[in-house]
């Protein structure tokens, strides 16, 4: 008999056509009331969806999936720290707080269940089974941006910085982009985890060039901001030279930009905590 913790899960779907009910799996939420655990993992990139259904609103897709994942993770964080705890709470309750059941393009599937000795590993396994296995090789990575964020989130959590971070949309005349982890004291400081732990050197360089273009467009914004790129390094030694070239490309980004390496995650968290302690973080509507 397998030992472990009972859990429930639901798959997030992108429903392209409400009439035909054509859909693609794009995320997973997993919950265990015994361990007060709730976490989610969503596909942020919409390349696979456009290959299936044709052109979609990519910005809306990315913002929606990031919002759903971030909100569920925030609820999970609150849940793990909450006392007392409603032991009768079911996964459906938390999903409805983030995405009420309706006929929108984003819908959660009926809940499934299982037993797991490692909930984090099970979340990743279910995501791989229902979502990632359908991605083409060119879309795949050893670690995605959200997995890289976990490297930096741990040190920030230990220094109690996470509650000060909010989404912030930087708007320029021809482009806008919403950063999920931002704070403000005098000006906005926006963070973005960017994984270069990809499968091919060309993918690494293409991603660096996309960020160069993004930063160039955002540089025209009337708001002052500093951008921190939280780098995820390739694990394959054969891709190290491509990563060096990618950083050279990123150094060409205009504006106040700082590149942070994974080995600097602890120091970055310490510096951020000191800034907030010394200068505070303004409580404002980030949108």
At 106-138, the pLDDT tens digits run 999 999 999 999 999 999 999 999 988 766 544
Residue 210, pLDDT score? 92
**Is the pLDDT confidence value at 286 over 50?**
no
> pLDDT per residue over 135-146, tens digit each?
654 444 578 888
Question: What six digits make up the tokens of 184?
Answer: 């403000």
Rounded mean pLDDT of the chain?
A: 87
- Can you read off the two tokens belonging to residue 97? 């707080």
**Range 154-159 average pLDDT:** 94
Q: What are the pLDDT digits (tens) for 49-65?
A: 877 777 778 778 888 99
Please tell me the predicted confidence (pLDDT) of residue 1.
42
**pLDDT surpassing 60 at residue 281:** no
Mean pLDDT calculated for residue range 177-205: 90
pLDDT at 135: 61
Per-residue model confidence (pLDDT) at position 260: 97
Written as six digits, the tokens of 34 are 């015994």
Residue 88: what pLDDT? 67
Bin 254: left if φ > 0, else alpha if -120 < ψ < 50, else beta.
beta
Range with lowest mean pLDDT among 67-71, 79-83, 155-159: 79-83
Output Rg (C-alpha) for the chain, integer angstroms: 19
- Predicted confidence at residue 60, as pLDDT, reads 84
- Domain range annotation of the chain: 7-135, 141-281
Q: Write a three-state SS string for the chain.
A: CCCCEEEEEEEEEEEEECCCCEEEEEEEEEEECCCCEEEEEECCCCHHHHHHHCCCCHHHHHHHHHHHHHHHHHHHHHHHHCCCCCCCCCHHHHHHHHCCCCCCCEEECCCEEEEECCHHHHHHHHHHHHCHHHCCHHHCECCCHHHHHHHHHHHHHHCCCHHHCEEEEEECCCCEEEEEEEEEECEEEEEEEEECCECCHHHHHHHHHHHHHHHHHHCCCCCCEEEEEEEECCCCHHHHHHHHHHHHHHCCCCCEEEEECHHHHHHHHHHHHHHHHHHCCCCCCCC
Both tokens of 271, joined, read 């510096």
Here the tokens at position 185 are 């004291």
Q: What local confidence, expressed as pLDDT, does residue 139 receive?
A: 45
Residue 284 in this model has a pLDDT that exceeds 60: no
Task: Specify the pLDDT at position 85.
Answer: 56
pLDDT by residue (tens digit) across 193-247?
Answer: 999 998 788 889 989 999 999 999 999 999 999 999 999 999 888 899 999 999 9
The average pLDDT across 3-18 equals 90
């Amino acid at each position: 008999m397998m030992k472990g913790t009972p859990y429930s899960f639901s798959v997030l779907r992108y429903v392209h056509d409400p009439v035909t009910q054509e859909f693609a799996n794009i995320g997973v939420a997993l919950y265990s009331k015994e361990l007060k655990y709730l976490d989610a993992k969503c596909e942020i990139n919409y390349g696979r969806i456009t290959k299936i259904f044709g052109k979609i609103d990519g910005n809306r897709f990315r913002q929606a999936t990031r919002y759903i994942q971030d909100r569920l993770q925030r609820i999970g964080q609150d849940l793990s720290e909450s006392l007392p705890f409603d032991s009768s709470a079911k996964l459906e309750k938390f999903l409805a707080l983030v995405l009420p059941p309706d006929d929108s393009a984003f819908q959660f599937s009926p809940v499934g269940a299982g037993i797991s000795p490692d909930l984090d590993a099970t979340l990743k396994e279910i995501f791989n089974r229902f979502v990632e296995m359908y991605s083409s090789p060119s879309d795949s990575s050893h670690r995605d941006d959200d997995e890289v964020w976990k490297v930096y989130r741990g040190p920030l959590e230990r220094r109690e910085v996470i509650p000060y971070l909010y989404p912030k949309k930087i708007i320029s005349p021809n482009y806008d982009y919403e950063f999920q982890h931002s704070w403000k004291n005098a000006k906005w400081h926006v963070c973005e985890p960017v994984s270069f732990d990809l499968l091919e050197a060309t993918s690494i360089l293409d991603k660096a060039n996309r960020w160069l273009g993004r930063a160039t467009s955002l540089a025209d914004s009337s708001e002052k901001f500093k951008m921190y790129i939280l780098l995820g390094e390739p694990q394959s030694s054969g891709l190290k030279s491509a990563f060096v070239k990618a950083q050279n490309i990123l150094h060409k980004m205009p504006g106040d930009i700082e590149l942070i390496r994974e080995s600097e995650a602890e120091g970055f968290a310490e510096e951020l905590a000191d800034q907030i302690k010394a200068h505070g973080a303004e409580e404002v509507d980030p949108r």
